[in-house]
């Protein structure tokens, strides 16, 4: 690869990104500017920023790699991302969030939750969940970018992690959400253009869409031979797994539902709705956001699946074998092998953009969770203090360091699983109280508190003692009870959200109905 070309493209990208960080710093005057970009962001910018914050290297590299195993069945997640993550989120939920956020003057997601129920406990507890667990999501996003750099440029993985985190920290810590939103929009534009080119060139190599899909379908026996024993119920790259099997539960409950529903309760995405001036702006953002998700997520899943047909024809091996058994290296290996050098350089910037756009939003949310939602709401009891922004910036630095630490120690192939885990945790903890506070007049503070605690606690218990992927890695169940999980199939492969979210919802409804306090209103 022409390293000079790579250097020129990357430097140009970083200069533009640095300019937006500087612009954010110069135009940030107060907490409203720092936390919700002054509530004056253009709908096109908001849509691109939302999409870029939503779609990261975890989607492109992590879930794209998982598509090399589950194939086209993962495209159902693309459909759910557009339906729930864009159409419902923008046109339905987003309007209530914008209105309620302005009404109660909320600047963060936990603050919105707390003020809807007039509860400092809800704001502080929600802020702690975000501050403590979002670094897991940020860590796997860092891994995705670092893996591509490692494979395509042969640069040490640890060095790549450090450089990326340092660049992101500079413009997030000082620029606030104005810098984050504009850099996200710029990065989202790069992502969209690159993914469209990648999809077109992939189909072109096979001779067309039909020919590409037929080539992959003909290889289903190869896929079944490789994966069926490891994932019972697996039926190939172009078939859905057998209903109720281990493959089906993993695909549907963790990958499709966990992320597809969990997107509604993502703190770093919900705050985007509070950055626009009107409901009409949210309506205008729907088609832009839908197109963005279709081409970014859809392309990653299609290319991830088709990479098997490409590698089988060129080297006689499926993608997972070419990647050395690590699904997180499938997309980097495919890009490096299939695409010309100039596109590898451009795609490197695409993944940098995907990682940086999501990470900047994550780190900003992590910092505001501790600075405003825990420090100001908890220790200062809601009173403003000049130290709040300082604490927020310090918390961002802590979040970055913790995320880097996790990126160092997490095992291979963890990107998609870590993403799904965080999305599901947010859905289980926040979604009933979040939607209830926006739409149900009988919602009560007691119901919201009970729901958040029950959803969070159930998720943690299930992850620790039942869901085999996490319980076996944590080792607590084996240490206490002598086995990796306290129940057998299918409980070992059912995502915690499938248990925790209905239980949290039931708790919210029952406690709210039984509560004598005044309803929160909507």
Please write the tens of the pLDDT for every residue from 45-73: 766 766 766 677 778 888 999 999 999 99
Q: DSSP code of 72?
A: G
Please write the tens of the pLDDT for every residue from 384-409: 555 666 777 788 888 888 888 888 88
Interatomic CA distance for residues 207 and 445, integer angstroms: 59
Q: Which SS3 state, helix, strand or coil, does residue 237 take?
A: coil
Residue 337 phi, psi dihedral angles, 5° rounding: -85, -40
When pLDDT is averaged across residues 312-323 and rounded to a whole number, the result is 94
Q: What are the Cα distances from residue 426, in Å, to 41, 259, 449?
A: 26, 10, 14
Buried b (16+ CB within 10 A) or exposed e, 292-325: bbbbbbbbbbbbbbbbbbbbbeeeeebbbebbee
Q: What are the Cα distances from residue 252, in Å, to 108, 240, 420, 464?
A: 31, 10, 11, 21
Give percent above pLDDT 90 in the chain: 41
pLDDT at residue 393, as a whole number: 75
When pLDDT is averaged across residues 285-305 and rounded to a whole number, the result is 90
- Residue 28 confidence (pLDDT) above 60: no
Q: DSSP code of 516?
A: -
Token digits for 179?
């810098």
pLDDT at residue 3, as a whole number: 67
Q: Are 471 and 484 in contact (CB under 8 A)?
A: yes
- Residue 39 confidence (pLDDT) above 60: no
Instruction: Pick 132 or 372 by higher pLDDT.
Output: 132
pLDDT at residue 319, as a whole number: 95
Please write the tens of the pLDDT for every residue from 145-168: 787 777 777 778 788 777 777 766
Give start-end residues of each CATH 1.20.1730.10 domain in the chain: 3-415
CATH number corresponding to 3-415: 1.20.1730.10
Interatomic CA distance for residues 171 and 230, integer angstroms: 44
Q: DSSP code of 250?
A: I
pLDDT at residue 60, as a whole number: 86
CA neighbours closer than 13 Å in the CB half-sphere of residue 518:
7
Residue 320 phi, psi dihedral angles, 5° rounding: -60, -30
Instruction: Pick 507 or 378 by higher pLDDT.
Output: 507
Q: Are 502 and 514 in contact (CB under 8 A)?
A: no
In 3D space, the residue among 87, 85, 90, 79 whose CA is nearest the CA of residue 43 turns out to be: 90
- Residue 522 confidence (pLDDT) above 50: no
Confidence at 205, pLDDT banded by 50, 70, 90: very high
Interatomic CA distance for residues 269 and 94, integer angstroms: 10
Within 8 A by CB and 6+ apart from 40, the residues are 275, 276, 277
Within 8 A by CB and 6+ apart from 378, the residues are 120, 123, 124, 127
Mean pLDDT of the chain: 84
Please write the tens of the pLDDT for every residue from 358-369: 777 778 788 888
Sign of CA dihedral 454, 460, 465, 468: positive
Give the CA radius of gyration of the chain.
22
When pLDDT is averaged across residues 484-500 and rounded to a whole number, the result is 94
Helices (H), 117-257: 120-153, 157-206, 209-217, 220-227, 246-249
Q: DSSP code of 518?
A: P
- Residue 38 confidence (pLDDT) above 70: no
Q: Are 455 and 432 in contact (CB under 8 A)?
A: yes
In 3D space, the residue among 495, 471, 493 whose CA is nearest the CA of residue 483 turns out to be: 471
């Amino acid at each position: 690869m022409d390293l000079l070309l790579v250097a020129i493209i990357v430097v140009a990208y970083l200069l533009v990104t640095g300019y937006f960080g500087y612009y954010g710093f110069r135009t940030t005057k107060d907490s409203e500017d720092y936390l919700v970009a002054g509530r004056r962001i253009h709908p096109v910018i908001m849509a691109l920023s939302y999409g870029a914050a939503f779609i990261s290297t975890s989607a492109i590299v992590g879930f794209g790699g998982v598509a090399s195993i589950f194939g086209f069945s993962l495209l159902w997640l693309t459909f759910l991302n557009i339906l729930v993550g864009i159409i419902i989120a923008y046109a339905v939920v987003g309007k209530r969030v914008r209105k309620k956020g302005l009404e109660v003057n909320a600047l963060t997601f936990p603050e919105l939750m707390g003020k809807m129920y007039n509860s400092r406990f809800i704001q502080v507890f929600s802020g702690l969940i975000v501050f403590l667990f979002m670094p897991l999501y940020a860590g796997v996003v860092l891994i995705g970018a670092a893996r591509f750099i490692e494979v395509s440029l042969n640069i040490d993985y640890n060095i790549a992690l450090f450089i990326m985190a340092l660049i992101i920290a500079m413009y997030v810590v000082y620029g606030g959400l104005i810098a984050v939103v504009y850099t996200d929009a710029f990065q989202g534009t790069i992502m969209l253009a690159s993914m469209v080119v990648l999809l077109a060139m992939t189909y072109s190599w096979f001779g067309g869409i039909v020919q590409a899909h037929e080539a992959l379908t003909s290889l289903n026996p190869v896929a079944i031979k490789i994966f069926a024993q490891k994932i019972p119920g697996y039926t190939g790259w172009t078939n859905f797994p057998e209903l109720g099997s281990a493959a089906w539960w993993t695909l549907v409950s963790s990958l499709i539902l966990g992320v597809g529903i969990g997107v509604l309760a993502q703190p770093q995405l919900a705050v985007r709705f509070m950055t626009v001036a009107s409901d009409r702006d949210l309506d205008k953002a729907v088609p832009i956001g839908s197109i963005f998700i279709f081409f970014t997520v859809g392309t990653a899943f299609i290319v991830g699946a088709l990479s098997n047909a490409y590698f089988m024809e060129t080297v006689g091996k499926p993608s997972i074998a070419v990647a050395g058994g690590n699904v997180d290296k499938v997309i980097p290996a495919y890009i490096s092998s299939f695409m010309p050098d100039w596109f590898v350089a451009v795609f490197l910037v695409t993944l940098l953009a995907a990682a940086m756009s999501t990470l900047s939003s994550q780190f900003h949310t992590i910092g505001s969770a501790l600075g405003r939602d825990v420090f100001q709401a908890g220790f200062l009891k809601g009173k403003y203090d000049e130290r709040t922004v300082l604490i927020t910036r310090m918390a961002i630095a802590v979040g970055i360091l913790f995320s880097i630490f996790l990126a160092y120690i997490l095992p291979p192939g963890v990107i998609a699983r870590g993403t799904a885990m965080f999305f599901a945790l947010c859905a289980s903890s926040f979604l009933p109280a979040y939607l209830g506070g926006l739409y149900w007049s009988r919602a009560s503070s007691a119901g919201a508190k009970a729901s958040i605690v029950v959803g969070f606690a159930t998720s943690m218990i299930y992850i620790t003692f039942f869901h085999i992927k996490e319980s076996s890695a944590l080792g607590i169940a084996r240490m206490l009870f002598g086995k990796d999980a306290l129940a057998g199939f299918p409980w070992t492969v059912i995502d915690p959200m499938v248990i925790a979210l209905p239980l949290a919802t039931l708790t919210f409804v029952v406690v709210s109905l039984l509560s004598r306090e005044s309803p929160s209103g909507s």
